[in-house]
Structure 1
């Protein structure tokens, strides 16, 4: 029988982290929706596909398997495949069947996809900076943003 996981956190620390999580989830969902809408309007690509494009751009000139990209994005292989199909139809990625196993394909970002990533990632970075600056002054989220933006705090040890 497995032992319960002991994080080393006191009950008060665990409660604080739980309350922080309760704030982070709606904050993330709201910010994700706003970014998705803005990126789609300005660049013709949503946040999820842009993150896939960014992962591929980071591998350039190499390639990534669909399952490797799915792991990196934290989505299912079928969701990653659908996203990549959209990116491929738009001319932003290219798939190549692996010679040893035709069921496996490798995906690369195209020059057009790299150009889109460069433009859209600047928008994303600018909007994230602006959102976190604004949220620092929103009493509902100020403490969450402060915790997220801290550098140098040691992570709790297990």
Structure 2
């Protein structure tokens, strides 16, 4: 028989007792909520999805050096095919360029375009502010306060 969900003051103590599983169980809806809000905000303000902005950020992080599709996939924690699809969308939008990797023409090197750089510089503060606001709100939600506290400790 499974235990009932914890509620109120009892929840944080039970989540700590159950370790990683309970934390993961709480992170999933938290992640979904934050991801949805970020995606809507970024699309409304900058006409870019969260996935595309994160991929753009991975390319911007290596700028001015090229980055491989595999490196973007590892940075985002997604499959290479998923990273490749997002990068293809960014390429069609003129935000990145693909070229041959120096020394190995079988590998594509992804470069940031000026339009991609400009979009990254404009959208990054929006992303940071939206994340801060989401975590501030969720820090006072009894369902997520302990998760947010753990996440914030990991970034300090």
TM-score > 0.5, shorter chain as reference: yes
| CA 1:152–1:129: 2 relative to 1, 3 Å | closer
Gaps of 5+ in 2: 1-14
Deviation at 1:123, TM superposition (A): 0.3
SS at match of 1:95: strand
> C-alpha distance in 2, partners of 1:73/1:114?
18
Per-residue CA shift, 1:7-65, capped at 9, x if unaligned?
A: xxxxx966133212211111001111111121111111111110111111111110111
Q: Does 1:128 align with 2:131?
A: yes
Counterpart residue number, 1:51? 54
> C-alpha distance in 2, partners of 1:95/1:71?
18
Gaps of 5+ in 1: 1-11, 154-158
Counterpart residue number, 2:105? 102
Counterpart residue number, 1:16? 19
The alignment covers a number of residue pairs equal to 142
- Runs of 4+ in structure 1 deviating by more than 6 angstroms, as ranges, are none
Q: TM-score, normalised by structure 2?
A: 0.83
Give the alignment's Cα RMSD to 1 decimal.
Answer: 2.0
